[in-house]
Amino acid sequence: MDGASGIGSVRRGWWLVFLLLSVGCASLQLPAIDPSGRSILLPAPNYTTVVGHDVDPVTGQRRSPLLDQLLHRNRGPAFTSPPAVPDCQVPAQLPNQAAATVPELPADPVAPRVLVPGVCEDPMLAAHNANTGCLGHSRSPSNPQAVVTLMPKQQIAAVGSEIILLGGVCGGDGYYRMREPLEWAIAEGSVGHFVEPGQAMVGRLGLRGALGGWLAEPLPELLSNNYAVGCTSKKTQVLTRGTVQTNDDVIVESGQAWIGVTSPIEGDTYVTLMAPDLDGWEQRTEQAVIHWVDGQWSLPPAAVVQGITPHTLTTQVVRRLTGSPISGWLVRYRILDATATFEDGSSQKEVMTDSEGRANVQIMPALAQGGMARVQVQVIRPARGTTDQLLVGEGTTAVTWTTSQLKIDITGPESLDLQQDGNYLIEVSNPGGLALQNVTVRAMVPNGFQLIGTAPTAQAFGSRLDWTIDSLGAGERREFRVTYRATQSGVVRHIVSALAPSSQAVEDTLTTQVTVDALYIEMWGPDPELEVPVGREINYTVTIRNRGDRPLDNVVISDRFDSGLEHVSGGSPIDWQLGPMQPGQERTVGLTFRVVAPGRQCHTLEATATGAPPAQVGRCVTGVENSNPPPRIDDNAGSPSDVDRRRSRLEVQITGPQQMIEGGEPGNFFITVRNQGDAPAVNVSLQTEYDNELEPRAADPRPVVPQRNRVEWYVSQIEPGGQESFQVRCEALYGNVSSSCVRAVVQSADGDRATDEYCIPILPADGAAGRTSPEPNDRTLPRTVPRGADPLPGSQFDTFGTSHQRDRQLEPIRQDQRGLDVTIDSRGDRWKVGDEVDYLIVIRNNRNVSDNDVVLTVELPPQLKLVTYTGPVRAAPGTLDWRTFRMTPIQTLRPGESIEFGVRCRVSRPGDLTARVEVRSMRTPTGVVRDDVTVASP
């Protein structure tokens, strides 16, 4: 009975032990601490739950390690994925930056601390390495036997430092085995000793260490300085040197063991790791060697060298323990870039350290402008006994040569017309790293070019232009502008140069092709919009000019006309041989047609010469049926002599001011043409000429031929008793003139002609003696335009002349409600230096049809500097000074449509501010000009 009771008690005791072991460290609930501080503990049901090691972190259910082992349950991963944590502190390292010294390791061995993966180790690396297997270390899937692994196999370390070796047993399934016994040994004759044979996971209470290998892994043990035993761990560990940096941490995977090795003297340590439970000597042993070096080195620092002189790189090697220099070590230098070489022209050089432990080498730039070169530096310990050379350290440094450099560029038009102005931009820069002193910029005025202006002002020495820059800083750029006028055709080469005492001279060139349309042809006659009765004659005056700088041979003009026009010489075409023409020479001929059919009738005149491109000009008229046909001679009509006696009789009369004052208010002159005859006057031409003291500024209606001293109109027909009125506004240019005259001549197609003259005195301005007219007045009457006469030259297409030849465009006195118009308004009349002036420019199409290719040109006075502009289109390319700029064409301007531009300028100096705008279009090729005049004070 007692025996049975004792056996039962023993059995009950065993069952209790079994249950305790199966439960493990269960979760405990303790009273929670009051965080407010009012009391020590919080009342129920507030608890703090302590989760033991054997609680599933996912399900929260308790589990028994012993039952798991007995039942061979799949326990899953050793730990779940770590939560997101902040990045560990990693020291920033700049690329291509050489370290002055290699980081020193502790002089005394330091025992690594054993940590589980936490916030101060790389969680991604730990998660990746944990339980990922051991393939690639010492075995492969083709070798199913378990083998021992040891790493690193070879290591170079400074004496006094500590090296961590990792060992393990790689199973046939490709994973490390846990709780495998290992033995560590240092071979006889090796230097160094073991520091610590690793640490096992013994739990918070240390019970696993006390129970030994029964319930947990056995503790590693250091039996002597060169022999230790241990086993592979079941947990992942992080060995850290106590710093916040992660690059010096060592991660020990589950199934690995570790040991620390150190040596206070130079030499080699040969370590053997053995797994006694494995079969086969090759599978259960592995060796590693550690080379201990008593030396530390300083690599050459990065350097910046002024100029292109050679630079010396120095690497110094000294004893780590005593600081004494080491001689006989090898330093290998290798240049990584093609911008430099060593003194012998090579890119790699090996130098032995001298008695001071220094290895010097000279490096020099391979390019005249310098640059940056990276150099790789390797420190090599020479061979000793059976040990080969050892690469003990390496790094990269950089040498940068900064030089003062000059660069010059010239830009400008690649082609120009003869007598056209071209703007050229010269840019001088210093792309080097040093400032330049006393820089001279030089430009040669090319042959065939005339200097118009420079900005800033250059010093002229004959055909040479010089600018001086006192100091041109590193990266600085200066601009110089030159304006030339092409006076000779051909290919012109521009040469600019820059030189400084501390830099090589540089130059740049630009080629400009100067072209000329040597043949220039002008034709003026009746207004194309006028209707001409069938049977009437129309007269044209044609001028051919050689605008080139070379003679022209075999000049021929030819006119091709429609069948509705008739010429006395015969049918289309008609030709004239003009022969040779010298440069600047011009020839004028008259051309008369008779309109023989209604409708639009056109003719084209072309001029040709040997070696010159042809020139063309065309005109059209509209023929209409004659509403007043000549009376038919019959029995009731008078005799033919009665019909012949019906003729037109023209009269012309000029009226104007009684006198004018030099530079004063403009004067208005009125010209009236009357037909006092009993027949219509057809194809009437009115020509007015003005003495040199008077300059026409405006006319109404718009004239056909406006020039400096001549204005001309054409009228298709004036009925008997009818009249036409014309108005011209003139300005008095010179004073102290007793008589300055305006002359007029009017004539019709049938030869009727009349003249008039009106003269007034011009008084000098107040307090002035008056300026003298540059040449005497020509008191002769204007020349008429009979057939074959030589009228004064007009302008192409009966407009206001070419852009290079016309002096000023005459604007209508009254706004033409049927044409293109432009206005400019500065919204003020007085400004001060520094003020900003906003101009509003409005273009309007007053026609009842669309207009095309509308181009706006803005001309600012020299006292203004452009700040910005706005509008529907941008400025055309090629604008350099922004004093005069032209907008890109507006393709279509619909009837009645208006568009606006804004121009903002800043007043830079006092004076009269006259801003001018001009607008041209396909339907208004003569253009419309408007001015805005204001005053700027200091």
CATH number of 815-937: 2.60.40.1530
pLDDT number for residue 397: 94
CA torsion 867-872-874-876 (nearest 10°) is -120
Q: Which two tokens stand for residue 353?
A: 């350290």
- Among 576, 583, 517, 573, smallest CA distance to 542 is for 576
Quick check: 427 pLDDT over 90?
yes
Quick check: 111 pLDDT over 80?
no
Distance separating the N- and C-terminal Cα atoms of the chain: 132
Q: What is the pLDDT of residues 352-386, one digit of tens each?
A: 999 999 999 999 888 877 788 999 999 998 887 77
The percentage of residues in the chain with a pLDDT greater than 70, rounded to a whole number, is 73
Provide the pairing of β-strand 285-293 with 154-158: parallel
Summarize the confidence of residues 401-407 as an average pLDDT: 78
275-279, 339-343, 876-880: which range is least confident on average? 876-880
Summarize the confidence of residues 485-495 as an average pLDDT: 86
Quick check: 637 pLDDT over 60?
no
Q: Are the C-beta atoms of 430 and 469 separated by less than 8 Å?
A: no
Q: What's the mean per-residue pLDDT of the chain?
A: 76
633-642, 645-654, 690-699, 744-753: which range is least confident on average? 633-642
Strand partners, 507: 497
- When pLDDT is cut at 50, 70 and 90, the band that residue 71 belongs to is very low
- Which CATH number is correct for 407-515, 3.50.50.60, 3.40.50.300, 2.30.40.10, 2.60.40.10? 2.60.40.10
pLDDT number for residue 119: 35
Quick check: 662 pLDDT over 60?
yes
The percentage of residues in the chain with a pLDDT greater than 90, rounded to a whole number, is 21
Cis link prior to 103 (omega < 30° from 0)?
A: no
Q: What is the pLDDT of residues 514-530, one digit of tens each?
A: 877 778 888 877 777 76
Task: Give 272's contacts (C-beta < 8 A, 6+ positions apart).
Answer: 184, 185, 186, 187, 285, 286, 287
Q: What is the pLDDT of residues 428-467, one digit of tens each?
A: 998 877 788 889 999 999 988 999 999 999 998 888 899 9
Quick check: 472 pLDDT over 60?
yes
- Which CATH number is correct for 646-798, 2.60.40.1190, 2.40.50.140, 2.60.40.1510, 2.40.170.20? 2.60.40.1510
Regarding the domain delimited by 296-402, which CATH topology (the fold level of the hierarchy) does it fall under?
Immunoglobulin-like (2.60.40)
CATH number of 113-293: 2.60.40.10
407-421, 545-559, 757-771: which range is least confident on average? 757-771
Summarize the confidence of residues 653-660 as an average pLDDT: 91
Domain ranges of the chain: 21-76, 113-293, 296-402, 407-515, 519-624, 646-798, 815-937
pLDDT number for residue 752: 85
How far lies 546's CA from each of 136, 507, 552, 660, in Å? 92, 38, 7, 40
Summarize the confidence of residues 83-105 as an average pLDDT: 40
Q: What is the pLDDT of residues 540-563, one digit of tens each?
A: 878 888 877 788 888 998 999 998
pLDDT number for residue 18: 57
Query: Residues for the chain: how many in total?
Result: 938
Q: Which two tokens stand for residue 194?
A: 């073991």
116-120, 152-156, 510-514, 517-521: which range is least confident on average? 116-120
Question: Burial, 811: exposed, middle or buried (Cβ in 10 Å; 0-12, 13-18, 19+)?
Answer: buried
Rounded to the nearest angstrom, the gap between the alpha carbon of residue 816 and the centroid of all alpha carbons in its chain is 46
- Which CATH number is correct for 519-624, 2.60.40.10, 1.10.3720.10, 2.30.110.10, 1.10.8.80? 2.60.40.10
* Distance between CA atoms of residues 617 and 926, nearest Å: 15
Q: What is the pLDDT of residues 175-216, one digit of tens each?
A: 888 888 999 999 998 999 998 887 655 555 555 555 555 555
- When pLDDT is cut at 50, 70 and 90, the band that residue 47 belongs to is low
* Distance between CA atoms of residues 23 and 312, nearest Å: 73
Q: What is the pLDDT of residues 605-628, one digit of tens each?
A: 899 888 778 888 888 888 888 655
